[in-house]
Amino acid sequence: MQMDIDRLCMKNELAKFIDSGVAEDAYTVYYAYLEMFIGEYGRSQNMVELLSEFESNASSLLMKHRDHYSHSVYVFALGLAIYEMYPDFRKAFMNFYFLDRENEPAAAAFFLKYWGLTALFHDIGYPFEIPFEQVVSYFEVDRKKREKGLMYIAYHDLDQFVAIGEEDNRQLESIYGRRFASVCDLLAHGIFLHLGAAYNISEKRLLKVIENKPTRPDDNSYYMDHAFFSAVRLYRELVSIPDGDKLSRATVDALTAIMLHNSLYKFAVADYKNKDPKKRKAPLRKELHPLAWLLMLCDELQCWDRTAYGRNSRTELHPMAADFHFSGNAIHSVYHYDLEEVQKIHDFWEEYFAWEEKNDGSKPPRLKDYSDTAAKEQRFRRDIESIVDLTGFPLFVDSDLRTVDREVKHTYLSSSNFLHIYDFAVALNARYNYQGKEEDVPVEKLEAEFNALSLEYKLLNINQVRSFARYLNAIDCFYTDKPVDFDVLKAFTPEMISVFAPMEHVRWVRDHQLAGWRQGNEYETLLVLEPKEDEKAARRALREQLRHHKLTMNTDASEEEILAHYEVLSPEDQGKDWLPFNSMLKLLRKFDGLRIYQLGKD
């Protein structure tokens, strides 16, 4: 039952993200996955949150760069859709891992774990690539292409980074029948097992290419491959988990899929852009490595709604939204571009039609990404078909213009990195327990109490924190982890609480509805055969099992009905008591960074 509830939590958070596309909603998807399959979120938070921080703070110095944090969650969602809607892929995946095709729920759970591992973490190595690109961007002002003489940085002294511990090597030996000198060696062997024969590439060659990724970018056309760092960083994270399901053949497959997805497969294995057609290898078939096939397909398809950080990226025209339809065993995709950019599009078509009329054999003009999806060359689709084999699963691509709907982003003045959102949730969870004793309670105890919660209740706290941006906006306050010249809010007043308490009740009811709760108080009236001192805990457990709560409402309730329901609750149930929230403010001060400020004073 708990795993079913956890999967429902994941489904709900993913649905919120698909509706909005914002990083804050991507955060809860990562949170749910880490809690379900990796361990406590707090142990692994740096692995993914630093990617978001690096991109938002450092990427504006680059020539080309777009978001990879929300992108990875979109990739995850696309893969889930393809697994559900494409029977041939499900069959290939289950055959590859010898899964019982008569037990599809178990196979789907297996897919969820290892596809999540592959998709959500395939770009976590970007914090290693971004400094490389910053140096190149600074020194290539007048360069049109990367070649000898370009100044670049490289990474050395990687022995500890790629080392495999004795215990882990024993586990790998039980899987593969051999030990490995490094993670590079493991990745090369894993890729060779699946692709070596089909692509006539040796394990020795693969190992050399992989080892040169961080140390010899000049061998990689003067590019740093974040996929190498993503794979090794994820390996390091997995083997550091105490008593976890560290390594398996499917885990290594996720790592090799990540290693392949950026440039290794395209150039070192398939050589897919070689001018000599005889030297180009066939696109990857899903039967050879289903996780790699799906990652490369979804990674290419996911080009919409990505924040542009780089200087050139901000001037290009990228799709703001996309629709996907799966019918007739095919993918039908429509990429939507901003109607306000119609002049830029008009200018492109004038140039394009002039090029067609000239017919001199020159390359067609481009307006990336618009021209790649809209022009007759269909470069976007053709590039995908040259990477992954879509036989029996054709891809159709179209584009259109529409007005941007910015309201779905729910943007407010409040902002913070996600490390502090976690701290905020820890303080919020403890607001009833330490009133008047906030100074005495250690942070470690607050975190232990939070981590003891089920995933459902952790997410309820986190979603309440994220709703505080809207609540604070309504009372002319905001939170931030940056130093600002505003007064710190020292205490909420009853008037402030009366403004956002009804808003919080609507959120609480909606989240409980999504999690399958219904209105009812049977847990308070049914006979419970427990000693008096244990009765409260027993009734709470009964409430969880029944999924009934006296304060929630059934799924067909409108927002107006929820607010009317709120008005007849007792003051205690309404949550108008401001003292617990003021305790939260005091607890929040125990953590570095995040504070709540007032925009002004009367």
Q: Which residues pair with 247 in a beta bridge?
A: none
The more confidently predicted of residues 49 and 346 is: 346
Give me the residue label for tokens 């370009």: 150
**Contact between 32 and 9 (Cβ < 8 Å):** yes
Which one, of 331, 301, 298, lies nearest residue 319 by Cα?
A: 301
pLDDT band at 146 (very low <50, low <70, confident <90, very high): confident
Q: Could you give phi then psi for residue 50, rounded to 5 degrees?
A: -65, -30
Give the 3-state secondary structure of 384-422: HHHHECCCCCCEEEEEEEECCCHHHHCCCCCECCHHHHH
**Contact between 404 and 338 (Cβ < 8 Å):** yes
Q: Which residues pair with 284 in a beta bridge?
A: 388
**Mean pLDDT, range 556-579, rounded to an integer:** 82
> Radius of gyration over alpha carbons of the chain, in Å?
26
Question: What pLDDT, on a 0 to 100 scale, did the predictor assign at position 571?
Answer: 80
Residue 313 has pLDDT above 60, yes or no: no
Minimum mean pLDDT range among 56-60, 79-83, 472-476, 566-570 = 56-60
**What tokens does 322 get?**
């996309």
Q: Which residues pair with 175 in a beta bridge?
A: none
Q: Are strands 595-598 and 477-480 parallel, antiparallel or unpaired?
A: antiparallel
Between CA 333 and CA 98 the distance in angstroms is 32
Q: Which stretches of 132-181 are assigned E, i.e. beta strand?
A: none
Question: What pLDDT, on a 0 to 100 scale, did the predictor assign at position 535?
Answer: 84
**Mean pLDDT, range 17-27, rounded to an integer:** 88
Q: Could you give phi then psi for residue 147, rounded to 5 degrees?
A: -160, 180
**Mean pLDDT, range 323-328, rounded to an integer:** 90
Tell whether the torsion through CA atoms of 475, 480, 484 and 488 is positive or negative: positive
Give me the residue label for tokens 């992108």: 71
Strand, helix or coil at 65?
coil
Question: What pLDDT, on a 0 to 100 scale, did the predictor assign at position 308?
Answer: 62
Q: For residue range 163-183, what is the model confidence (pLDDT) as tens digits?
A: 999 999 999 999 999 999 999
**Contact between 230 and 187 (Cβ < 8 Å):** no
In the predicted model, what is the mean pLDDT of the chain?
88
- Helix crossing, 104-120 with 290-301: angle to 10°? 60
The DSSP letter of residue 7 is: H
Between CA 579 and CA 411 the distance in angstroms is 28
Residue 61: CB atoms within 10 Å:
17
**Contact between 255 and 187 (Cβ < 8 Å):** yes
∠ at Cα 213 (114, 253), nearest 5°?
15
Strand, helix or coil at 464?
helix
Question: What pLDDT, on a 0 to 100 scale, did the predictor assign at position 100?
Answer: 92
**Mean pLDDT, range 75-87, rounded to an integer:** 96
Minimum mean pLDDT range among 22-36, 344-358, 411-425 = 411-425
Q: What's the one-letter identity of residue 72? A: S
Q: For residue range 217-275, what is the model confidence (pLDDT) as tens digits?
A: 999 889 999 999 999 999 999 998 876 567 999 999 999 999 999 999 999 999 988 88
Question: What pLDDT, on a 0 to 100 scale, did the predictor assign at position 318?
Answer: 85
- Helix crossing, 203-215 with 226-239: angle to 10°? 100
Q: For residue range 525-567, what is the model confidence (pLDDT) as tens digits?
A: 887 776 766 888 888 888 988 999 998 998 778 899 999 999 9
The more confidently predicted of residues 210 and 437 is: 210
Strand, helix or coil at 101?
coil
Strand, helix or coil at 293?
helix
Residue 2 has pLDDT above 80, yes or no: no
Question: What pLDDT, on a 0 to 100 scale, did the predictor assign at position 41?
Answer: 72
pLDDT band at 60 (very low <50, low <70, confident <90, very high): low
**Mean pLDDT, range 324-336, rounded to an integer:** 92
**What tokens does 436 get?**
């008047």
Residue 143 has pLDDT above 60, yes or no: no
Which one, of 571, 378, 598, 577, lies nearest residue 490 by Cα?
A: 598
* Contacts (Cβ under 8 Å, ≥6 apart) of 461: 425, 428, 429, 450, 453
Question: What pLDDT, on a 0 to 100 scale, did the predictor assign at position 532?
Answer: 67
Q: Across the chain, which distance is largest between two alpha carbons, in Å? A: 90
Q: For residue range 494-526, what is the model confidence (pLDDT) as tens digits?
A: 899 889 889 989 999 999 998 889 999 998 888
Which one, of 332, 359, 458, 424, lies nearest residue 41 by Cα?
A: 458
Give me the residue label for tokens 């390594």: 247
Between CA 572 and CA 592 the distance in angstroms is 32
**Contact between 236 and 165 (Cβ < 8 Å):** no
Q: Could you give phi then psi for residue 386, rounded to 5 degrees?
A: -85, -10
**Contact between 319 and 368 (Cβ < 8 Å):** no
Question: What pLDDT, on a 0 to 100 scale, did the predictor assign at position 557?
Answer: 85
